[in-house]
Amino acid sequence: MATHLDEDTVEGEDAASRLRAVSAREDRRYLNRELSWLDFNARVLALAEDEGLPLLERAKFLAIFAENLDEFFQVRVAGLKDQAAAGLGAPRDGDSPAEQLKAIRVQTEALVERQVQVFLKSLAPALGERGIVFSDWDGLDDEDREYLVDVFERSIYPVLTPLAVDPGHPFPYISNLSLNLAVFVRDPVNGERRFARVKVPPLLSRFVVMPDGERFVPLEQVIAAHLHVLFPGMDVESFAPFRVTRNADLTLEEEETDDLLAAIELELRRRRFGRAVRLEVDVATSDEVCELLQRELDLGPEDVYKVEGPLELGGLWAVYELPRPELKDEAWVPITQARLSAGEDTNGPAIFTVIREGEVLVHHPYDSFATSVEEFIEQAAVDPQVLAIKQTLYRTSGDSPIVRALIKAAEQGKQVVALVELKARFDEQANIEWAKALEQAGVHVVYGLVGLKTHAKTALVVREEGGIVRRYCHVGTGNYNSKTARLYEDVGLLSCDPPLGEDLTELFNYLTGYSRKTDYRKLLVAPLKLRDEILRLIEEQTSADGRIVMKMNNLVDQEIIDALYGASQAGAEIDLIVRSICCLRPQVPGLSDNVTVRSIVGRYLEHSRIYGFGKRRRRKYYIGSADLMPRNLDRRVEALAPVTDEQLIDRLQGILDINREDDTLAWELGADGVWTKVPTVDGVNTHKRLQELAVERSRRRRDAAIET
């Protein structure tokens, strides 16, 4: 169980039900943001529950669900608690922080109960039938225990530190997301009873793997079986695993610091000491232990979640990494985009020549990131005709070919500028390390604008060609990250269109220097004009002949939602594909009759932002980094680029059409705020269909080359 039910919980359930009901009333224009996000995570959990998926893929989705929930509490719940503590009331057409926290509690309990059930009753037994067994210490034989004793003595015991709690030893600090054991011991000599805490070291794997490589024992059980070693001469009365979640959002006053890098490093150290917002305990944990932990962590009963089975199921990633391909999706190898493909008698066309011949649209992970975006930067780094490279870096991978290429370019004397966003949540430390490495190589590193995150995904290459300086551009929807490019669905545009190149030049000048530039030729830039331009584009379609189709991660901004309501009331046809949070209520008579909302959740994380306006040859399409949220429109540097080539527009429209036709991965949002799985009729799976199309394009290109 997620937690036991008491009178307070029942009252909380009633409050949550009332909040849900009120949110669905016709006079409530917007759905609750936090509950909408929990609905998204419920769709992730549904994948773990889907017995038609390969077993290790289900384990992966269970790990993603658990990690998502951790982040939700660290940021969103923590923020609501701060608002409630400050006495803030309900915003316009919204619910108070206290009301939202009650609703979150009830919905989270239901989700955690589903998580427990899918792991204990479905996934673990099914994996066991395939030789991947989650074992308990009590169920092991003597030989297995001897092995674990050896593992404990060699690898675990040396890094453990039992911490006593008594008048001479205050309650220890419990770090964020750490797994711990609460232990009661009794001194057999004087009979004194004491409490102690043992931290389960995060540097060790969540599960201890047995010699056969396919049996897993929770690390805390191995430690618990050796508490007599940690407390020699004492009687161990009881132990209970627990886990603490803390407020992990950075509270940086940028205006008051001259050194953003040093300020971020300081805030990362402070993050460890954020206020506790959630306590997870084993379902068998005694009231005495719960009350002690609540008191010391300054938490209330509403912050405690009792969980049956292992805590921290994010550790299932280790299980997913097992070399059992038959229990996973068939491996997908991204295909080189058709126009970037190598011919039979060459090493492949120079990417700058291809881009000069016409803009290239890439769609990851179906089109290879390595042979498109990475190749673009790598060729620029070694090309003697390239004068400068400028690029934004929001999240980079641990071994980034792009960062290595930028370093190589700087070492060869090119002008290289990297805008590294130090405030990318939970990637701050990694970005600090990359920023230092780039600076040491001679790259001009900029940390962005005061008060704004730089979220735009842009790269600019300046190249001299026969006395002419030409600008080559990349504008995308995803991070310059080779690892996530294989897991996230994104689109990008490679172009040498002169007006777009001039826009990117001026955007980088805005980011690296002083500029009050607000008008761009083609780019839609936040926080300058993006909001106004999106509203203008919606207004253009506010008629009976209007057509709007948008694909994004989140739709939250109330001004944008109101404009979409107005367009619907005027008769415009509106299709929205929103991966996670959607505060717009579709299909409400008189308000949003003509609006449909669906979400695609499956193998790849839908991450692209595609905005289409108009019908037939009057269509206007944009791609870029911005979701339709206040933070993206008002508090971040974002960039959307137009796609004007009709063939590329057709391809974007084809992506959107497949998303709209999907009846395998798709969910639809109703007027009551409830997401419903689309019934499978034709078996359209967005991810599989787009893989098939990538293969077909490659085959056609190859056949055409053979004929030539």
Of 298, 327, 356, the position where a domain reaches its end is: 327
**Residue 332 placed within a domain:** no
Q: Is residue 493 located within the same domain as residue 633?
A: no
- Cα first-last separation, the chain: 66
**Residue 518 placed within a domain:** no
pTM of the model: 0.89
Residue 477 has pLDDT above 90, yes or no: yes
For residue 170, name the pLDDT band (cuts at 50, 70, 90): confident
Of 483, 512, 541, the position where a domain reaches its end is: 512
For residue 5, name the pLDDT band (cuts at 50, 70, 90): very low
Say which range, 60-64, 439-443, 545-549, has the weakest mean pLDDT: 439-443
**Residue 141 placed within a domain:** yes
Q: What angle do CA 273, 278, 283 make, to 5 degrees?
A: 135
Helices (H), 514-645: 530-540, 558-569, 630-634
Residue 403 has pLDDT above 60, yes or no: yes
**Residue 491 placed within a domain:** yes
Q: Is 473 helix (H, G, I), strand (E, B) or coil?
A: strand
Instruction: Give me the DSSP letters along 91-149.
Output: -TTS--HHHHHHHHHHHHHHHHHHHHHIIIIIIHHHHHHTT-EE--GGG--HHHHHHHH
For residue 699, name the pLDDT band (cuts at 50, 70, 90): confident
Q: What pLDDT score does 438 carry?
A: 83
Q: What pLDDT score does 571 carry?
A: 97
Domain count, the chain: 3
Determine the Cα–Cα distance for residues 436 and 423; give it in Å rounded to an integer.
15
Q: What pLDDT score does 453 carry?
A: 84
For residue 2, name the pLDDT band (cuts at 50, 70, 90): very low
Beta strands in 509-660, from DSSP E residues, in sequence order: 524-526, 547-552, 573-578, 595-600, 605-606, 610-613, 620-624, 636-643
CA 367 to chain centre: 21
Q: Is residue 208 located within the same domain as residue 71?
A: yes
Q: Is 606 exposed, middle or buried (0-12, 13-18, 19+ CB in 10 A)?
A: buried
**Which whole number is the average pLDDT over 258-286?**
69
- Dihedral (CA of 617, 471, 437, 446) sign: negative
**Which whole number is the average pLDDT over 187-208?**
90
For residue 423, name the pLDDT band (cuts at 50, 70, 90): low
Q: Is residue 497 located within the same domain as residue 539?
A: no
Q: Is residue 344 located within the same domain as residue 308?
A: no
CA 702 to chain centre: 36
Residue 3 has pLDDT above 50, yes or no: no
**Residue 268 placed within a domain:** yes
**Which whole number is the average pLDDT over 135-164?**
92
Q: What pLDDT score does 394 carry?
A: 79
Q: Is residue 95 located within the same domain as residue 182?
A: yes
Tell me, what CATH number does 691's domain have?
3.30.870.10
Q: Is residue 43 located within the same domain as residue 169?
A: yes
- Give the whole-number percent of the chain exceeding pLDDT 70: 87
pLDDT tens digits, residue range 88-138?
776 655 788 999 999 999 999 999 999 999 999 999 999 999 999 999 898
Q: Is residue 235 located within the same domain as residue 94?
A: yes
For residue 670, name the pLDDT band (cuts at 50, 70, 90): very high
Report for 245-259, 271-285, 479-493: range of highest mean pLDDT: 479-493
Half-sphere exposure for 371 (CA within 13 Å, toward CB): 19
pLDDT tens digits, residue range 212-222?
888 899 999 99
**Residue 1 placed within a domain:** no
**Which whole number is the average pLDDT over 435-462?**
84
Cβ-contact 184, 237 below 8 angstroms: yes
Residue 45 has pLDDT above 80, yes or no: yes
Residue 16 has pLDDT above 50, yes or no: no
Determine the Cα–Cα distance for residues 443 and 344; give it in Å rounded to an integer.
37
Q: What pLDDT score does 154 carry?
A: 94
Say which range, 283-297, 416-430, 678-692, has the weakest mean pLDDT: 416-430
Cβ-contact 29, 591 below 8 angstroms: yes
For residue 334, say if its preceding peptide bond is cis, omega within 30 degrees of 0: no
Q: What secondary structure letter does DSSP report for 343?
A: P
Residue 255 has pLDDT above 60, yes or no: no
pLDDT tens digits, residue range 203-254?
888 999 999 888 899 999 999 999 999 999 999 999 999 999 998 865 544 4
**Residue 517 placed within a domain:** no
Helices (H), 365-445: 375-382, 401-411, 428-440
Report for 365-369, 420-424, 464-468: range of highest mean pLDDT: 365-369
Q: What pLDDT score does 104 carry?
A: 96
Instruction: Give me the DSSP letters along 423-438.
Output: TSTT-HHHHHHHHHHH
The better pLDDT of the pair 17, 303 is held by 303
Which residue range(s) make up the domain with 384?
A: 338-512
Q: Is residue 446 located within the same domain as residue 505?
A: yes
CA 80 to chain centre: 20
Q: Is residue 370 located within the same domain as residue 404?
A: yes
Of 512, 538, 553, the position where a domain reaches its end is: 512
CB atoms near residue 154 (< 10 Å): 9
Cβ-contact 425, 395 below 8 angstroms: no
Instruction: Give me the DSSP letters along 274-332.
Output: PPEEEEEEETT--HHHHHHHHHHHT--GGGEEEESS-S-GGGGHHHHTSS-GGGSPPP-
Q: State how beta strands 524-526 and 547-552 pair.
A: unpaired
| Catalytic residue list | 455
Q: Is residue 317 located within the same domain as residue 434?
A: no
Helices (H), 184-224: 219-224
Q: What pLDDT score does 292 carry?
A: 93
Q: Is 555 helix (H, G, I), strand (E, B) or coil?
A: strand
Q: Is residue 411 located within the same domain as residue 495?
A: yes
Residue 655 has pLDDT above 80, yes or no: yes
Q: Is residue 468 located within the same domain as residue 572?
A: no
CA 9 to chain centre: 30
Determine the Cα–Cα distance for residues 137 and 144; give it in Å rounded to an integer.
9
Say which range, 176-180, 252-256, 635-639, 693-697, has the weakest mean pLDDT: 252-256
Residue 11 has pLDDT above 50, yes or no: no
Residue 10 has pLDDT above 60, yes or no: no
Cβ-contact 393, 421 below 8 angstroms: yes
Determine the Cα–Cα distance for residues 223 and 228; give it in Å rounded to an integer.
10
Cβ neighbours for 231, distance < 8 A, ≥ 6 positions apart: 162, 183, 185, 196
- Sheet of 133-134: strand order equals 133-134, 215-218, 207-209
Determine the Cα–Cα distance for residues 310 and 383; give it in Å rounded to an integer.
54
Mean residue pLDDT across the chain: 88
**Which whole number is the average pLDDT over 156-174?**
83
Torsion angle, CA of 643/649/654/659, rounded to 10 degrees? 30
Cβ neighbours for 401, distance < 8 A, ≥ 6 positions apart: 370, 374, 377, 378, 482
Structure tokens, 262: 């040093």
**Residue 519 placed within a domain:** no
Q: What pLDDT score does 250 carry?
A: 55
Tell me, what CATH number does 268's domain have?
3.30.1840.10
